[in-house]
Amino acid sequence: MILRLLAGSLVLMAVTLIQTTWVSAVAILGAKPDLPLIVLVWLAYRDGPVLGSSLGFISGLMDDVLSSAPLGFGAFVKTAVAWISSLLHGAMHLDHFLMPLLLGATMTVAKALASLLLTILFRGNLESYDFLSRIFWIEVGYNALVAPAVFFALELAFKALGRAGKPVE
Amino acid sequence: MPDPRGGAGDRTERFLPAILLVSSLLCLVISTRSLTELPETVGASFLGFFQKGFSAVGTFVRDTATAIGELKRLRGDYDSLLERTKTLDRLERDYADLRAENERLKEQLGFSTTTAFTRLPARIIGKDPGNLYATIMIDKGTSDGIRKNMPVTAWQDGVEGLVGRVIEAGQGVSIVVPLYDRSSAVSARLAKSRYEGLLTGQGGIEDSLLMRYVRKRALDEAQNGDLVVSSGIGSLYPPDLALGRIKRIRDLEYQPSLDIEVEPILDFSRLEYVFVATRSGPEAESPGLPPTAAPGGNP
């Protein structure tokens, strides 16, 4: 369990660093895909609620320290997304294209809804997605398209490490 | 006293000091408002260390890939530049004459050439992980003399424009909030007519900036393409730094002031290097300014 948490955290840290340094180069009209979110969704789906939520919290904290968002904002949003993703653990079959595509899109919407909830709770002192904005829908589409490839790459990588398919008890 | 039977009690005793230490630190962070930013600063410094490595690898790969095309282009540029050099030789002589004349005139008018700011160059190593907030991470931090709230500028196409301000300074990295972030607000004025307003970001790197609270009287004197500069009010940003150009003026009847859409003077997506304006000179002692920095590597 601890080893999985550590491994997942290291993967998320590497992906977050890639996100902040390289991913801006592939932004479309200012919107970039959220690679750490997609990786988190896969890890949470695979590892269940306890580990998934913990990884969501860690990933969110990393986002917060690299962003102008107040500490805790990303942690809340990503913990929520990871928890929702982990609820699907064992409840559905993850194919190679359609389900990753749907998860990529729906979890981006879930992220936006979680940030909206925080904005309501903190009376507008925080930023939330504008559901009518171009950037939001480009990100939804981008994440949906990128998710199948990322899921496939993660599956291959973890299989190579001999860890895939071992559910957490 | 350790539990002779070992087990849970022993483990608790072993970890209790660490738990108490962490609890004390947490209490300290919460009770001391000055330390509320400590976790973010430490986190940014830690991740920034690795971020520099990732950024360097990305730069290396990109530079190698573009090197071949770049060489061809450089050869063409070299030939044309040789031609231009001849022209510039002549212009340089004229320039030297004009500069000497300008210095003489300035002296007569009593202008000072000393600036209140020293510019510390920094490289952009990362950007905000998400699309909701907009931040830029640079490779200089407190060890280079950078402090919170220092203004950040950049040169592009021969113009120096305002990028934003430092919101977090770690050991070797700092986080800058750019003009286009929604939380950004700069006291601005129209360069020609000198009317003031408040320039705010709209979130997207491609979005225009919005200048609010401009008197309706300015409508007669402002037109599209006019330069908008920082006013220097509040002393956070130096005065007369280029911010953008007027793109559209909105005069709504129900509003007491004008809303002006401003096209940023800098193309933020092309920025690679910036300058952090650290204070120096007599203005550094003025009240309300950020603390004077001691830059380690001035340009």
pLDDT at B285: 40
Residues B268/B182, Cβ–Cβ less than 8 Å: no
Q: In sequence order, what E strands does chain B have?
A: 117-127, 136-138, 151-156, 159-169, 174-178, 185-190, 196-200, 209-215, 227-230, 242-250, 257-264, 273-279
Q: Which helix (H) or strand (E) holds B85?
A: helix B38-109
Pick among A20, A22, A136 to test the B interface (most B CBs inside 10 A): A20
Residues B150/B163, Cβ–Cβ less than 8 Å: no
Quote the CA–CA distance of B175 and A60 in Å, as a whole number. Answer: 17
pLDDT for residue B60 is more than 70: yes
> Among A3-12, A66-75, B12-21, B52-61, which stretch is predicted with the lowest mean pLDDT?
B12-21
Q: How far is B116 from chain A (nearest CA, A)?
A: 28
A72 token code pair = 């805790």
Q: Label residue B90 by pLDDT band (50, 70, 90).
A: confident
Question: For A2-23+30-160, CATH number?
Answer: 1.10.1760
pLDDT for residue B11 is more than 80: no
pLDDT for residue A68 is more than 90: no
What global pTM score does this model have? 0.71
Residues A68/B177, Cβ–Cβ less than 8 Å: yes
pLDDT at A81: 94
pLDDT at B190: 93
* A31 contacts in chain B (CB < 8 Å): 131
Q: pLDDT digits over B124-166, tens only?
A: 999 998 888 889 999 999 999 999 999 999 998 888 899 999 9
pLDDT at B284: 42
Nearest residue on chain A to B49, alpha-carbon basis: A17
